[in-house]
Amino acid sequence: MPRSLFEKIWDRHVVARRAGQVLLYVDRHIVHDGGFHARKDLAKRGLKVRRPQNTFGTPDHYVPTVSRNPADARAPEIRRMVEAYPASMKQLGIPHVLLGDERQGIVHIVGPELGITQPGMVLVCGDSHTSTHGALGALAFGMGQSENEHVLATQTLWQAPPKTLRIHVEGTRPAGVTAKDVILAVIAKIGAAGAVGHVIEYAGSTVRAMSVEERLTVCNMSIEAGARAGMVAPDDTTFQYLHGRPFAPKDFDAAVKFWKTLPSDADAVFDREISLSAATLEPMVTWGTSPENALPISSVVPGAPQRALDYMGLKEGVPLEGLPVDRVFIGSCTNSRIEDLRAAAKVARGRKVKVPAMVVPGSGLVKKQAEAEGLDKVFLEAGFEWRHAGCSMCVGMNGEIGRPQERIASTSNRNFEGRQGQGARTHLMSPAMAAAAAVHGFLVDVRKIS
C-alpha cells in the first residue's frame, strides 16, 4: 500500500505492540541540563544507559548566556542544575559537550548542525520543541521525564499511533514574509488545537523552496498547533545540508540512496489535508496569549478573548503597527540560527536600538560563524547585547526574564501568560520584525524599512 513519510519511518521502528500502543525503537536521544531528574532516578535504580553511543548531551535550558560561568546563574538552584549536568553525563557515560565547548547550544540547534539528526530516524528529547528535527525528514517528538528515563534504560518508547495531517503551502512568499510568518499563519488558521493527535507533514512548493534552517523554524512550532510532530520530506536541500557534518554517515552515498525512498508516495492517504497560499501572507505578529492569536502586522487588535486583552494591556481596534515595546529578544530554538541572525543584522545595520535588546545565538558554532561574518559588531554598534548560546528568555528557566507588564518583541515560540516572566507581555514575530521593533521602539512593518 502507498505510505506517507511518517508511516515509512514508524513502520520500520515498531518493536512490539499492545492494545492501542506500539513500542518504538529510538535512533537518537538528545538530552540537556533540564533532564536531571531522569538521570538521577536512573542512577538511583542502578540502571545503565542502554545505548550511550546513540545519546548526546548539551546544556542549554538553565545555562547563563551572559557568560559561560555557572556562578553567573541568577539563583542558587539554577546554578546547582548547571553544575550537576557534567557529573551526570560522566557518571552515565553519555557523549556530551560542556558549557565551554563551542559546540554547546540549544538541543534543537545542535542536533541538526552536527548531523546528529538524520532522515528516517526516530529522535526524542525531553523538550516539546523536539518537533524541530522533523525538518530533516525524521520523526522527532518531545517527552516527559519518566519517558526520558525509559529511553535511557531501554532505547525504546511506548507510543500511541497518531493520525496524519498534510499541510500544503503553495506559491512564492512575498517580500518580507519569512518561515516564521508562514508557521504563525498556519497556527492562526487551524488553531492551537488544530493538529492535536496528528503528525504534520509540510509540503508544497513554498516548503520545497525553503532552506533547511527555514524548515526547522516551521517544524519547531508544530507543537504550537497541538501536533505530536512536524516533518518535511528529505530532498537534495536536505542532503546538501547534511553532507560533511561531524555525525553524518560515513557512507554518505548509501545513506542518500536510502533517504530518497522516504518521501510520501504520490498516492499516500492522509487523515486530513489543508492548503495555504503563500502569496496571501504578510509579516505576522501575535497580539494575545496563544500563538494562534496571530495577525498580519497591518491588522488591528480584535475584540476577544477579553482575558488575553487584559493580560496584554490592549484594547480592541488598536493597530498592531506602532504598538510600543519595552524589550526585544532575538533567540530561541525557533529563530537563532545563522540565517536568522543575518536577517536581524540586515535591519539593525547602521541603526540604534530604542529599547533594551539582546541577541542570543543558538549555539557556539552559530556564534562563531556570526562573529566571522561581523554580525556581532553590527549588533553591538546598534546597541544590542551579544550573548552566549542558550535558551535564555524563551522560557526564562535561567532567570533571564522580562519585568511585569513589559511588552516584549520576541522571536521565540510561545507567548503564554508568564512565559517570559511574571506579567511579561510577549509578541511573537520573525527576527527581522524583532530587530525592526528594537531600532524603532515599537512594532513596525519590516517591509517599510529600506
The pTM of the whole model exceeds 0.95: yes
DSSP character at residue 392: G
Listed by start position, the domains of the chain span 5-159, 163-232+262-280, 285-448
Q: Which CATH number fits domain 5-159: 3.40.50.300, 3.40.120.10, 3.30.499.10, 3.40.50.150?
A: 3.30.499.10
Q: Assign domain 163-232+262-280 to a CATH class.
A: alpha beta
Percent of the chain's residues with pLDDT above 90: 94
Share the mean pLDDT of the chain. Answer: 97
Cis bond upstream, residue 305 (ω within 30): yes
Topology of the domain comprising 285-448: Aconitase; domain 3 (3.30.499)
**For 261-318, what is each residue's pLDDT tens digit?**
999 999 999 999 999 999 999 999 999 999 999 999 999 999 978 999 999 999 999 9
**For 106-146, what is each residue's pLDDT tens digit?**
999 999 999 999 999 999 999 999 999 999 999 999 999 99
For the residues 63-85, what does the mean pLDDT come to? Answer: 89
Closest Cα to residue 432, out of 420, 444, 424, 441? 444
**For 145-158, what is each residue's pLDDT tens digit?**
999 999 999 999 99
CA–CA gap between residue 302 and residue 296 (Å, rounded): 12
CA–CA gap between residue 208 and residue 202 (Å, rounded): 9
| Equal CATH topology for 5-159 and 285-448 | yes
Beta strands in 287-436 (DSSP E): 294-296, 327-330, 357-359, 385-386, 407-410, 425-428
In degrees, rounded to 5, the angle at the alpha carbon of residue 84 between the alpha carbons of residues 81 and 88 is: 135
What residues pair up with 142 in beta bridges, in sequence order? 125
- pLDDT confidence of 324, banded at 50, 70, 90? very high
CA–CA gap between residue 155 and residue 240 (Å, rounded): 29
CA–CA gap between residue 197 and residue 216 (Å, rounded): 21
Question: Quick check: 292 and 440 in contact, CB under 8 A?
Answer: no
CA–CA gap between residue 297 and residue 76 (Å, rounded): 41
- Residue 331 pLDDT more than 90? yes
Kindly report the backbone phi and psi dihedral angles of residue 28, in degrees, each rounded to the nearest multiple of 5, phi listed first.
Answer: -135, 135
Measured between its terminal Cα atoms, the distance across the chain in Å is 53
